[in-house]
Amino acid sequence: MPLYLLNKPFRVLTRFTRPDARATLADHVPVAGVYPCGRLDYDSEGLLLLTDDGRLQAGITDPRHALEKTYWAQVEGAPVEEQLARLRAGVALADGMTRPAGAVAIEAPAGLWPRLPPIRYRARIPTAWLELRLREGRNRQVRRMTAAVGLPTLRLVRAAVGPLSVAGLAPGACREASAAELAALWAALARLSGGRSARSASRLPAPARS
């Protein structure tokens, strides 16, 4: 039951099969038989978990468990408290109101790798960084939430999934989780499933690699 952590680079598809000339997980994951736990958009970067265990995959992605995911968003504009408060309270999107989220303004994350290609800077428009903590995973949710409060996202990095962090992983690097990391993840899932063992909380079969 291995679990792998990948720092997915910008402009890499979260799939193994190659539909066109774009890069895929096959270009960065050196092991066979694992599949991604959820998705990370083509134009987003950061932590992606992969496993061969369908129960673990379901625990990570099942919205009933609401495993927290942490994102760093570089946004256009200078956030004010009213905008942050709207993100924390929940934002009305086309597919309904989002759950309340953690939202704070931060300095540029220390040690963050450069994006290639870099974002397009405009001299008269400032940019800022936000840290967002979500317990749901709608399609392009962070980008839609920040846009709804007037702070379009220019760059998006997933920094953590539950207790697991992208820290120390270079873009494109992939490593197996330690025993301690795996135990911490199972413990977090057990807490979120009401104290039941996360291993028995879901018995979905492993999905096919795509």
Write the pLDDT tens digit of every residue in 147-178: 999 999 999 999 999 999 999 999 999 999 99
Got the DSSP string for the chain? --EEEEEEPTTEESSSS-SSSSEEGGGT---SS-EESS---TT-EEEEEEES-HHHHHHHH-TTT---EEEEEEEES---HHHHHHHHH--EETTEEPPP-EEEEEPSPTTPPPPSSPP---TTS-EEEEEEEES---TTHHHHHHHHTT--EEEEEEEEETTEE-TTPPTT-EEEPPHHHHHHHHHHHHHHTTTS-HHHH--PPPPPP-
* pLDDT surpassing 50 at residue 93: yes
User: Do residues 19 and 79 both lie within one domain?
Assistant: no
Which residue among the candidates 41, 52, 62, 95 is catalytic per the annotation? Answer: 41
User: Do residues 110 and 44 both lie within one domain?
Assistant: no
95 a catalytic residue: no
Per the prediction, the chain carries an average pLDDT of 91
* pLDDT surpassing 90 at residue 62: no
Strand 45-51 with 35-36, pairing = antiparallel
User: Do residues 75 and 121 both lie within one domain?
Assistant: yes
* pLDDT surpassing 80 at residue 54: yes
User: Do residues 38 and 110 both lie within one domain?
Assistant: no
Residue 199 corresponds to which tokens in the numbers above? 């291993």
User: Do residues 95 and 147 both lie within one domain?
Assistant: yes
Confidence (pLDDT) at 204: 38
Confidence (pLDDT) at 123: 84
For the chain, how many structural domains are there in total?
Answer: 2
Confidence (pLDDT) at 194: 78
* pLDDT surpassing 60 at residue 31: yes
User: Do residues 7 and 56 both lie within one domain?
Assistant: yes
Q: Which domain holds residue 179?
A: 3-65+163-201
Q: Is residue 137 part of a domain?
A: yes
* pLDDT surpassing 80 at residue 210: no
User: Do residues 96 and 55 both lie within one domain?
Assistant: no
User: Do residues 155 and 171 both lie within one domain?
Assistant: no
CATH code where residue 89 lies:
3.30.70.1560
- Give 135's pLDDT tier (boundaries 50, 70, 90): very high
* pLDDT surpassing 90 at residue 65: no
Confidence (pLDDT) at 195: 63
User: Do residues 121 and 76 both lie within one domain?
Assistant: yes
User: Do residues 49 and 20 both lie within one domain?
Assistant: yes
Q: Is residue 206 part of a domain?
A: no
Q: Which of 36, 54, 73 is nearest to 158 (CA)?
A: 73
* pLDDT surpassing 70 at residue 122: yes
Confidence (pLDDT) at 29: 97
CATH code where residue 182 lies:
3.30.70.580
Confidence (pLDDT) at 196: 53
Q: Which residues contact 145 (CB under 8 A, 6 or more apart)?
A: 87, 91, 93, 98, 101, 132
User: Do residues 73 and 61 both lie within one domain?
Assistant: no
Of the candidate ranges 70-84, 109-123, 150-164, the one whose mean pLDDT is the lowest: 109-123
Tell me the pLDDT tens digit for each residue of 186-208.
999 999 987 654 444 444 334 44
d(CA 46, CA 126): 24
User: Do residues 101 and 59 both lie within one domain?
Assistant: no
Q: Is residue 210 part of a domain?
A: no
